[in-house]
Amino acid sequence: MKKQMSLFIWAVAVFGMSPVWAATNSGMRAASSADLTGGPATRTRQNVNYQKYETRTSTRTYDMKDAGDLYYTAPTKRSALYKQYDNSGRNGAANVRMTRAETTRTAARRKYYLAHPFFQPLQGKFGSITDLSYNMNSYDMAFSNPTSIIHDANGNALTLNEASGKWDMKQFSIKEDFSYGITDRIAVLAMLKYDVSKYKFEWSNGPDDKMDDNGLNMFGAGAQWRFVDNDKWIATLSGYYQHQKDVSDNVILDIKGGYKYGKSTIYGLLRGWYVDLDGNAYGNGVSGKDGEGYDATMFVAYKTNTDNAMYVEGGVGVFSVLDEDWTLNVEGIFGNYDWHNQASLKAAIGWQPNDWFALNLYAKTAIYDSADDKNLEFYYWRANTFSADGAPLTGLSRFGDAKVDKYSETNIGVQAIFYF
């Protein structure tokens, strides 16, 4: 089968969201929607620490009677000391009383940290996170069980002639989360995401199939309720709706609770997605012209004969104030993403020079994925092809299996956070 396709693929990331301000474009649940019964569908997938670090001062007065030195060496000239006299001495003699006032700074931390995973704007305030991220997803494929159910116009059977290949996605995303505080405890959010993506099938026995895909691919809205916030505990409940263009409609619920200990918040989280697919299968695919100029489609299916999916993930994390201007956030997540399980680690370091602006640099990577050794179904369609009985083919046909190895997901990014 000769291939030289200018590709259009589905590789949608149903990203692991952090609540109200999607903390990152992170966690690529690479998935695409396709209709295996008809023509192929096209397209690819923080809140301030309410620990109130305030500046407190205390004034201590040291009394030194009879010009005695208590905490420091007295100047040689007594007139240089600030003296207070009273007339309580015997026979009317004046007693010398010297005092020194000292201000002690016991804490100096700003009240709100914008990169904190529980931050949300207070009543009448606005928050904005502009998130720029670079996302990578890849896996090797070893093909088996090839079939020859597709025929060209001359009746010749088309077969899979690749022994192995690799799926590779590189994506630059710009995501904007804009939030507003209805009350001090309830905030609403709107979000948009623009992707610049490069998708590629690398083949062992032929030229690569690749394509660029750029566009505004996601929008959504949601709300967050901070229902607990005291000196020791903080908790939020969040809900969102997202639309992934040409792929799915998603409903996400998120609950998170944290314990405040010193300058840190130790927290746990639980998230769930309901994904309503546009087609009846999802996975990775490409579509375009083949070497003979025909429209063609390839598709590696994560799952078939389904119009929805459920994702669930849970994890623990810690957010710490390192210095008045610097913060650190580390998070571990384990999730079930319908067709595979994954464990990932995320780390973020934040710089906040004032109360209204912060930069947050983050990275997230999968450290375990059960996708390895799974056999995924491989599908193919091309215009002007026929079944064995001569009927024109209008939908994808199974063409063999692809065994997955070295599944990888990584993303790095930076967030510019504003509060006004």
Of 362 and 149, the one with more pLDDT: 362
Burial of 225-260, coded b for 16+ CB within 10 Å and e otherwise, reads bbebbeeeebbbbbbbebebbbbbebebbbbbbbeb
How far is 367 from 345, CA to CA, in rounded Å?
7
pLDDT of residue 90: 52
pLDDT of residue 36: 63
pLDDT of 9 reads: 27
86-114 residue pLDDT tens? 444 455 554 544 444 444 333 445 678 99
Tokens of 230: 């005291």
- What pLDDT does 328 receive? 98
pLDDT digits (tens, 9 = 90+) for 28-80: 444 467 766 443 333 333 333 333 333 333 333 333 333 322 222 233 333 33
Cα distance between residue 251 and residue 277, in whole Å:
12
Average pLDDT over the chain, rounded to an integer: 79
Q: What burial letters (b/e) apply to 71-101, b meaning 16+ CB within 10 Å?
A: eeeeeeeeeeeeeeeeeeeeeeeeebebeee
Q: What integer is the mean pLDDT of 163-182? A: 95
Are 411 and 367 in contact, with CB atoms under 8 Å apart?
no
Q: Which parts of 271-364 fold into alpha helices (H)?
A: none
When pLDDT is averaged across residues 17-29 and rounded to a whole number, the result is 34
H-helix or E-strand spanning residue 44? none
Phi-psi region of 118 (alpha: psi -120 to 50; beta: other; left: phi over 0): alpha
| Range 181-189 average pLDDT | 97
Predicted local confidence at residue 44, as pLDDT: 33
Predicted local confidence at residue 80, as pLDDT: 32
Q: Which phi and psi angles does 240 have, rounded to 5°?
A: -140, 155
CA distances from 111 to 47, 169, 329 (A): 12, 41, 17
Mean pLDDT of 220-227: 98
